[in-house]
Structure 1
Amino acid sequence: MTSRYADLSRAELAVLVPELLLIGQLIDRSGMAWCISAFGREAMAQIAIEEWAGASPIYTRRMQRALGYEPVPNHGDVVTIFKGLQLDIGAPPQFMDFRYTVHDPWHGEFHLDHCGALMDVEPMGPEFVRSMCHDIEDPTFDATAVATNPRAQVRPVHRPPRVPAGRKPHCRWTVDIDESHPPVSPLPAFHVVAATRAATVELDPIDPADEGAGDYTGPLLADLDFAAFSRSALVRIADEVCLQMQLLNLSFVHAVEQRAADQEQLREVCLKQLTGIAGIAAERIHRALGLPGGAEGALRVLELHPLLNPAAYVGASVAEGVLTVRTDPDDSDAQADGAWVALCGPGSTAPLQALVRGVDPRLDVEVTGSERDWTLRVVEGADEAPEAGEVAVTRFSTGAAFVFEPRRSLPITPV
């Protein structure tokens, strides 16, 4: 299945990839609000731990393989870990401004000059900050590192709540790999997510003859210059980043299911999460690529939206102004997994409405067909619809309006 990003230019892809990484981070700005409401702060923290620990080892290894920096199994170094973070929806560039130091292959550190997640949570008070920066980060940093080396330990030097107030950098961590460290084992959620079709979906290989970098095998760079990658590599990265989101969502669904009172509550929480991120993601993609307005622009955003990507995973197509979604599991791995698209259809249009209204609040959708196959047309009305509450909740994040800045890409050498 040809990628839906394959017809974008190299320049457009270089703009889109960091946008997709940031959108992936904002999934939790949408989802966790509803988890707090339904289950409380402590349960929310446990959901976040299981969500990230279930997905990140899988998608970290996928990106390593895709860009050629995959280590000998279980023997990766700190540079491999840091490269993975640069291409992880958990650490989108600039919004989560990781600065890296490499002492030698087995010892390094990083600090965050700016932590967008902290900016979002800090106004909620020290208990919420402690949940994120202590309860959630400790197991999930190690869960991410285990994809590279199970004897890696990520430990804080300092972290929020910030003392004194306004302390910079926002946090500092060491990364040490030592054979004497007890190996970290994946959490049970990992095995559940590893059994999904999303974990093993095959994407188009990178064309080594394409102009530009086709891998990330060279030195660690302080800031990735996405424009330096080849068009083929950027297509693959975009698809992998969307798959990161799909995997994270599947892990989220599993974690919520363990706590939901019934299937109705599970669906309600997951639908709110999708509706919130659908609208903000559409708005950012539309603006970043300078796409046209109206129904034409909305349909193009639909094609590029993480909801329907990667194409090899989500069975859908756009032709003659109509989106057709295939819901037979034989035609769509996403449907078989119960991914985001499985929450949409003729009887469930809220995420689709939020998505098109991220382009223009006067737009709506007409969804017809059956649970097995359905089609969508974008229609224009005279009046602007109010913003969905789920989108407004996600817009609370500073990431909703975050603007990327140009940066130089400099190699990092051991100090």
Structure 2
Amino acid sequence: MVSIAMSYAELDRATLARLLPELLLSGQLIDRSGMAHCIGAFGRETMAQIAIDEWMSASPVYTKRMRSALKITGDGVADMFKCLQLDIGAPPQFMDFRYTIHDEYHGEFVLNHCGALMDVEPMGDDYVTSMCHDIEDPTFDATAIATNRRARIRPIHRPPRRPADQHPHCAWTVTIEPDRDELPLPEGSIIMGTTRAANVELSPITAGGEGHNNYIGAVWEDLRFADWSHSALIRMAEEVALQHQLLALGFAMSVREKSASEAQADEIFRKQLTGISGLSADRLRHCLAVEPDAEGLAAVLRIHPILGPEQYVGARITINGEGAQRSVQLRLPGNSDAIADNGWIAFIDPEHLEPVLAMASAVHPTWSAVTGHRDGEDLVIDIARGAAIKESGEVAIARFSSGATFEFADRGIPLSITPVSAG
């Protein structure tokens, strides 16, 4: 038996630097997994309201956490842009934000590429308007007020694109005026602030070592994660995994309010979980370039954001057996903060193992023999070889996104963004 630590701290600096963009993109793809099921259950307009609810509940909370972790203490547009660069709503390159800072309290950004638009545009103008108008207006402000409650993000232009090839995809102003009324915190974010996820303590960033330990100073045009210290990368990975958990809690709260029954809400939540579980595992397998053996499966599970961060979920992995009979065991404790919050992990049980099956079979289709049992309060899940299976419908729906096959590029040494004249 070989025990595998679930901590991001067990990964080296270079691996963490490759992993961070993947984790950020994984968080963006949660909605590609969940919203299709909401459209089927409730229609486009209610789907849009669920998206608004989930992001407005989660974003102010996790932005505040990232600000604290990286010592982003200011209240200007530069500080807001720093937070956006580490937000699952704006994964690098896939959501290619380009920033301009006019002065401390005035700036702009454009999206040179919007992966979310590329996913939604084929569905027609009504869906584009739902995302780029109905959803973005309140959720952008909810993100902004985590930095300054007098901040406003307003469109210069945005889709539906006219002409059809309009570029950049959208453009926005960011203004902070001292005599402007403060926006209230969204009610959902106040509720979210009471969860275990909002308050869990993660790994401290330690002084010293090679690379950045905080985000004090200039805004970088792109974040090159290889430039950050090992302990900073560990904490950022943990925070981004936690962003997944907070967004899922926001999604679940809204879906429950709009469902006809608890059973309907549970079904939608589990479908969302299954889709993102499999799609993220597939991308993580490619990121790590692992073999499809027991060690490779364990390597993917140990960094999967659904199962982290360890301080919140408390999962444990062991590899058992020898040779072709090797299997992987996943233990999910029944007394974790994740269970207390009634989030994703609480919806995996011996009768509902589809998310784990999706993760395992994404590493190789023959990791298909997935069984579970209770050991006291803990859920013990055994993953063994079986007949090759097809990808589940939930994962196939999530794979609709162009993010499923998106490739990150090396953009070289990033430049700092300096204020320019607003003239």
- When normalised by structure 2's length, the TM-score is 0.94
**Aligned equivalents of 2:186 and 2:257: distance in 1?**
14
CA contact (8 A) 1:53 1:187 kept: yes
After TM superposition, list the pairs within 5 Å mapping 1:33-72 onto structure 2: 33-71=36-74
Find out whether 1:406 has 2:410 as its counterpart. yes
Counterpart AA for 1:376: I
Tell me the SS of whatever aligns to 1:292: coil
CA contact (8 A) 1:352 1:365 kept: no
Deviations 1:36-65 (A, max 9, x none): 101110000000001000000010011011
- 1:324: Cα distance to partner? 4.2
- 1:378: Cα distance to partner? 2.0
Give the corresponding residue for 2:214: 215
CA contact (8 A) 1:85 1:91 kept: yes
Deviations 1:366-402 (A, max 9, x none): 3332282121222112x42111000000000000000
Unmatched 5+ residue regions in structure 2? 321-327
Find out whether 1:394 has 2:382 as its counterpart. no
Give the corresponding residue for 1:191: 190
Tell me the SS of whatever aligns to 1:358: helix
Give the corresponding residue for 2:12: 9
CA contact (8 A) 1:155 1:173 kept: yes
CA contact (8 A) 1:367 1:374 kept: no
Counterpart AA for 1:318: I
**Aligned equivalents of 2:369 and 2:210: distance in 1?**
40
Return structure 1 stretches of 4+ with deviation > 3 angstroms: 320-324
Query: Cα–Cα, structure 1 residues 257 and 314, in superposed 2: closer, same or farther, change >3 Å?
Result: same
CA contact (8 A) 2:16 2:234 kept: yes
Deviations 1:13-53 (A, max 9, x none): 00000000000000000000000101110000000001000
**Aligned equivalents of 2:252 and 2:290: distance in 1?**
32
Counterpart AA for 2:56: A
Counterpart AA for 1:35: C
Give the corresponding residue for 1:273: 272
Tell me the SS of whatever aligns to 2:148: coil
CA contact (8 A) 2:110 2:170 kept: yes
Deviations 1:323-367 (A, max 9, x none): 3434433xx000000111111121111111111111111112433
CA contact (8 A) 2:290 2:296 kept: yes
**Aligned equivalents of 1:41 and 1:252: distance in 2?**
15
CA contact (8 A) 1:151 1:178 kept: yes
**Aligned equivalents of 1:174 and 1:91: distance in 2?**
16
**Aligned equivalents of 1:184 and 1:125: distance in 2?**
32
Counterpart AA for 1:323: Q
Deviations 1:202-257 (A, max 9, x none): 00101112221111112100000100001111010000000001000000000101
Tell me the SS of whatever aligns to 2:258: coil
Q: What is the total number of aligned residue pairs between the two structures?
A: 407
After TM superposition, list the pairs within 5 Å mapping 1:151-300 onto structure 2: 151-300=150-299
- When normalised by structure 1's length, the TM-score is 0.96
Give the corresponding residue for 1:110: 109
Find out whether 1:352 has 2:356 as its counterpart. yes
Find out whether 1:380 has 2:385 as its counterpart. yes
Counterpart AA for 2:381: L
Give the corresponding residue for 2:118: 119
Deviations 1:303-342 (A, max 9, x none): 110111000000221134443434433xx00000011111
CA contact (8 A) 1:250 1:339 kept: yes
Give the corresponding residue for 2:87: 88
Find out whether 1:325 has 2:331 as its counterpart. yes
Identity of paired residues, percent?
53
Question: Structure 1 stretch 181-190 or stretch 392-401: which is displaced more?
Answer: 181-190
Give the corresponding residue for 1:136: 135
Tell me the SS of whatever aligns to 1:173: strand
Tell me the SS of whatever aligns to 2:313: coil
- 1:3: Cα distance to partner? 6.3
Counterpart AA for 2:27: G
Counterpart AA for 1:343: F
**Aligned equivalents of 1:411 and 1:13: distance in 2?**
23
**Aligned equivalents of 1:204 and 1:12: distance in 2?**
18
**Aligned equivalents of 1:193 and 1:59: distance in 2?**
10
Deviations 1:49-92 (A, max 9, x none): 01000000010011011111123xxxx00000000000000000
- 1:293: Cα distance to partner? 1.0
Counterpart selection for 2:343 from 334, 339, 346? 339
Give the corresponding residue for 1:19: 22
Tell me the SS of whatever aligns to 2:260: coil
Give the corresponding residue for 1:304: 303
**Aligned equivalents of 2:329 and 2:161: distance in 1?**
48
Counterpart AA for 2:38: C
CA contact (8 A) 2:6 2:302 kept: no
- 1:291: Cα distance to partner? 1.6
**Aligned equivalents of 1:82 and 1:182: distance in 2?**
21
Counterpart AA for 2:229: S
**Aligned equivalents of 1:295 and 1:125: distance in 2?**
44
Counterpart AA for 2:138: P
Tell me the SS of whatever aligns to 1:46: helix
